[in-house]
Every structure is written in structure tokens, then in C-alpha cells.
Structure 1
Amino acid sequence: MSALNELDARAREIFRDLVEEYLRTGEPVGSRTLSQSSGLGLSAATIRNVMADLTDLGLLHAPHISAGRLPTERGLRLFVDSLMQVSDLTEEDRREIDSGPVGAEGDTVLEKAAAKLSGLTHTASLVLAPKTEAPLRHIEFVSISPGQALVILVFEDGRVENRIITLPDGLPGSALIYAGNYLSERLRGRTISETREEILREIENHQAALDALTSRLVQEGVAEIAGGERSSLIVRGRANLLDDASQEDLERVRMLFDDLERKRDVIDLINAARDGEGVKIFIGSENRLFSLSGSSVIVAPYRDQNRRIVGVLGVIGPTRLNYARVIPIVDYTAEVVSRLLK
């Protein structure tokens, strides 16, 4: 049974009011405060008893010896998923987002979107930029040691990149030439995204005039090329995380800064938002990377002109985020970026 089902209407109202008060002030909330502000007409003693029950359910905790309570991460998740009323985007926020990246191109759109997100939410913003791809001119496989080959990629824009791949056992030297010619013919003037499925389908349906080992080499070469173009991460507004931090929170903020420097891990985390529609929310220890810094991440995917998800944007801050306001800001910013990238 979920925790929500264990709460009666009164407990839900008290819990909602307590979390909203905590998100507003960042301070432990006492029963006297709720009795004066909730409008429920309940005594402090009655509210205190309900708060004790909520603590037993793992939804609240006491940070130290005091009458005040804070929501646990489990409590915040219950609030966000089941009790929170998401605000409508204000006209002021809408105009601010609309005025940002208009007329910009490429990375400038994403840079400006990151700045807008950070400024509007007073958090740090995260934008996962799409892989940068250019049409290929030529591809070649060169043996460099037993079991390894160098993949040489020559792009139409003049860039040359080298990757190392593992060769299938028993592969003859002639297979390197055949594989290079096969891929060059199909990739010339096109990106790997445009041709990857076509190449793999040819091999799967045995339409490619390649033997089994050469086919494996081609598949591994395609996988290496596709995986080699790494997404980049834009982070803006780190200083916002220091503005409201108490002395005891400063160490958590420092740990968060350290986490943000490990960009590969951050990219892996927010890439999870590619797997579905709309906004995704990670609270505290729900994600391994930011568990120690006690941070929440709110992200949404954005799309290219073909409606394919190409990146993710959002914000990161303390678990005491104004979720109701931030969620529509992130969602609308992703919508605007998708529109501008068409």
C-alpha cells in the first residue's frame, strides 16, 4: 500500500501545508505554525499528533531536537507526485523565456536557454547539447596490432578523427579494405545518424556483399563512430546555489560543485530524460550522483526539426526547490528550444 493511501483527508492537508511551508522558508515547520496558518481550524496538539504519525510513516523527520519537522526525500516524492498543484506559467515568465533565444542559432540557442533557466529559477541550469555531426568524406580501417585497428574518419568539413576498435578473431587483412570501402560508399556526404539504421538493416538482412567477419567489423565500426561523437554539457548559474545556502549547507554545495565537474556522470544522469515525454524529477538520493549533496534535478527533453529527442535541459538545486513553479518553466523552455531548432 502506498503512503498516500495510508493518509486520511486531514493528514493529507496537514502534510501538504507543512511541505509547502518548508519549501517557502527552508526551515523546520512546527505544529503551532501550521495551526495558525493552515486554515484547518485544528489545535496545535491535534496537528502535533498527526505529524507524529507522518513521521512514523517515513514522510517527515526532525533535523534536531525541536518541535519542527522537515519532509524526508520520500515525503517530497509523495508531495511532488500526488499532492502538489503545478502552477501555470506566468505571463511574465513566458515573455522572459520567449525573449531569450529568439533569432539565435545552434549553440547560441542552448547557451541563452541555459542563462534564462538559471536566471528565472535562481538555480544552476543544465543543458545537454546534441551530438555534433558532420557528413563523412572517407572512412578507412588500418591494422595497428594483432586484434586492433585504427578507424580513420575524414569529414566533409576537413576534420580527421581516429578511433581504436577491437577486431573479430580470425579477420583477414583484406576485410579491413572491404569494410572501409563499404562504409565510405554509404557514408560519403552523409552523417552516421542518417545511415546507421540502413547499414545495420542491410547486414541483418544479408543484403551486404560481406562475409560474416567483415560484417562484424562494419557493425563495430558503425557503433564506434556513433558513440564517438560525445554530447557536451552547458552549466550556468553555479553562484545561485550559494545565495541561499546556510552555513551547514555550504559543504553540500561544495560537493555539488564537485559533482558538476564530473560532466560524464552528469550527462549519463540527465540522458535518462531522453527515455520519455515531459518533465522528469530526481530527488536527492534517487540518483546516485547527487545523493551526498542532497540535490534535486528537474529536466525535460527537447527535439530537432524531425521531432527526434536530441538533448535535455533543466535545473539543479537543493531539494527545497519551488517545484510547482520550476516544472512549468523547464517544460516551456524545452518547448521553445525545440521550436527554435526546427
Structure 2
Amino acid sequence: MSDAQTILSDMNDRTREVFRRVVEGYLDSGGPVGSRTLTRTLTEKVSAATVRNVMQDLESLGLLDSPHVSAGRIPTQLGLRMFVDSLLEVGSVAREDQEKIDATLGANDHDVSTLLDHVGAALSGITRSASLVLAPKREAPIRHIEFVSLAPDRALVVLVFADGQVENRIFTPPPGQTPSSMREAANFLNALAEGKTLTELRKTFASDIARRRQEIDVLARDLVESGIALWENPGENSERLIVRGRANLIDSATDLGDIERIRSLFDDLERKRDIAEFLGLADAGEGVRIFIGSENKLFSLSGSSLVVSPYMNADRKIIGAVGVIGPTRLNYGRIVPIVDYTAQLVGRLISERGKV
């Protein structure tokens, strides 16, 4: 039995109810809950003074905090964790929410990338929070590769797969690239890549480039090596992180400091520095996991919570994850089943399409 469970089991019914109602009130309003408010909702009719004494006891246990003198109480991170683990009542997905998710994922003409973009938009819209979707890496054979210069420091690689899917990826090319050198690099890669997946191409590339290095000039070789290094990096293009609804999270911030921390969080996410960490959050096992505030380093700066669930292919292998990020006062009881339902639906659809 964990320490939190021990504390909870030692509580009497009154203390447990006061604690539960303080947390529920905080999750509902985002503000402190006072003793007078509680006296009107408690099952047992007691005075406000009695409720204040109970709240003080809970504060001494580290479960509640008083943000201001003579104010009500809010749950601490420990209190939220205990509530989520032991007292949270999770229902089923509301019919309205389920219909919105089904409508988003139901169009058969969407490829996997488009489908997952729509998943992120749906989760963000339904939960009024930010959503994260970790897309699986593609292992279909490559049909064609093309490089397109966008600016001196930006280029686009277009990957056409044998199953007809197309992916566009932006990267920073080595200095001095020209349209001619990019065409040479693409021709070189296409001669090697046909029928191979990116993983297989990676395995054969080192020996092939050594043997055929004289066939391309120095600039083209730099571009090829840069592109392959980009693909090899598990934190970049092996998987793709889709971030939607950033504005929802920023809108929930209460002061400029919060806004800057949240922007910092999303800058990190959008640079994909911790994409492998995100998948690792869900990789411990099947089902929804909840991370509150500093419990996980990816979100400790913003003081946010993450509700995340992996999705699996037909072989029950974890291939990606979906999640919702919001303030710690998320409506966990509503969002947990939404994330769970979405993850299961995404896994089933991807398995049926045989994409992964």
C-alpha cells in the first residue's frame, strides 16, 4: 500500500469527504474552496469551524494548501495525486464527445498522417486543452525521394512510399547547397532507396556511400549525410509529434509567468527535443496514465498535467500515443475516458488499414 493510500485509509468518513469535495471544487472552479461552501454540501451537517479544523489537518498532511491568509484551500500536487489514484470517478465517454471523435476518424479517404492531425484537432477541441499525438514511424518501402530548396537555411524532403503515402519534412541543409546539388543527392538516394524502408536504407547507406562517393560532389554528399543523420535521430523524424491547441493551454494561464513557462514548454515540444520521452511516458504498459505537474520533467516547468495513452497495432505493439495537456485542474474524470477511447480507436483504425 502506498503512503497516499495509507493516509486515505486512516481518514474517517468526514475527513475523506471534506478532502474529496475540496478537490472536486478546485477542479470545477480553479479557485480555493472555503469552509462555508463545504458546509452546504457535506452529507453530515457540521459547523464551518469543524470543517476548518478538518481542512487544517489535511493541510498538515501535505494534501491541501492555503494560497492566501484566511482563504479557502486548494489541493497540493500530492493531494491531486491521491485523489486521482484513489477517489477519482471515471465514467464512460459522453455520447456527444464520442460522436465528435468518431466523425473525425471515420473518413476512409484520410491517410494516417491526415487522420492523426484530425485526432489532435478533435482532442484539443473537445477537451479545450492542448493535445499531443505521437505518430508512428513509417516502415513502408520508399518509391521516390526529392529535395526542394525553400530558403538558404530551409529545405523540404518529399518521401513517396510504395503504398502511395507521401510525407513532406522540413530540415536544415548543410551550407552552400544549390538546386543542382540537391538533384544529385536525390538521384543518388533514389538509386539506393527503391524498395527499401528508411531503416533498411540506413543499414546499407554507410557502405554504399563509401563505394560510390566519387559519383557525387562534396556538397551533394554533405546533403545526403545530413539527411540520413536526420532520419537516424529518434527524436526527429523516426516519429512525428503533432501539437494542437496550444492557445487553449496559454488561455488558461493566470499570469505572465505562467504564460512564459507554457510557451517555453511548447517551444521544446515543437522542436521535438523530448519526443522519445513522450512515448516513454506511455510505454510502461497499456492504459491511460496521468502525470501531474513536476512528476514528469517534460511538463514540470509549466505546472501542467498530462493524460496520455498508448495506441497499439494488430500485434499489440505500442506504436504511438495520444494525450491531453492542461492545467492541473483538468476534469480528469471526463478526459481520461476520452483519451482512452481515442487511443483504442486510433490503434484499431491503423491496424485495419495495415499501415504499421
Same fold (TM > 0.5): yes
Contact 2:116–2:133 (CA<8 Å) still a contact in 1? yes
Which runs of structure 2 are paired with 1:1-342 in the superposition (5 Å)? 1=3, 2-103=6-107, 104-135=110-141, 189=195, 191=197, 227=234, 229-246=237-254, 248=255, 250-263=256-269, 264-271=272-279, 272-342=281-351
Alignment correspondent of 2:214: none
The DSSP-based 3-state class of the residue aligned with 2:111 is coil
After TM superposition, give the deviation of residue 115 of structure 1 in Å: 0.6
Contact 2:252–2:327 (CA<8 Å) still a contact in 1? no
Task: State the percentage of identical aligned residues.
Answer: 50
Deviations 1:252-306 (A, max 9, x none): 1321221122133442332120221110111001012221211000110112243
Supply the distance in 2 between the matched residues of 1:85 and 1:238 (Cα, whole angstroms).
28
| TM-score, scaled relative to structure 1 | 0.72
2:253 maps to amino acid: A
Alignment correspondent of 2:221: none
Contact 2:311–2:343 (CA<8 Å) still a contact in 1? yes
After TM superposition, give the deviation of residue 117 of structure 1 in Å: 0.3
Shift of the 18–106 alpha-carbon distance from structure 1 to 2, 3 Å rule, reads same
1:114 maps to amino acid: G
Contact 1:89–1:329 (CA<8 Å) still a contact in 2? yes
Shift of the 188–225 alpha-carbon distance from structure 1 to 2, 3 Å rule, reads farther
Alignment correspondent of 1:174: none
The DSSP-based 3-state class of the residue aligned with 1:38 is coil
The DSSP-based 3-state class of the residue aligned with 1:311 is strand
| TM-score, scaled relative to structure 2 | 0.70
Supply the distance in 2 between the matched residues of 1:301 and 1:88 (Cα, whole angstroms).
18
Supply the distance in 2 between the matched residues of 1:262 and 1:242 (Cα, whole angstroms).
15
Alignment correspondent of 1:219: none
1:292 maps to amino acid: L
The DSSP-based 3-state class of the residue aligned with 1:275 is coil
After TM superposition, give the deviation of residue 338 of structure 1 in Å: 1.2
Supply the distance in 2 between the matched residues of 1:251 and 1:277 (Cα, whole angstroms).
36
After TM superposition, give the deviation of residue 101 of structure 1 in Å: 1.8
User: Aligned pair count?
Assistant: 277
Gaps of 5+ in 1: 138-153, 160-183, 197-223
Deviations 1:34-91 (A, max 9, x none): 0112333121111111111100100001112123111000000000000111122111
What RMSD over aligned residues (CA atoms) do the two structures have, in Å? 3.2
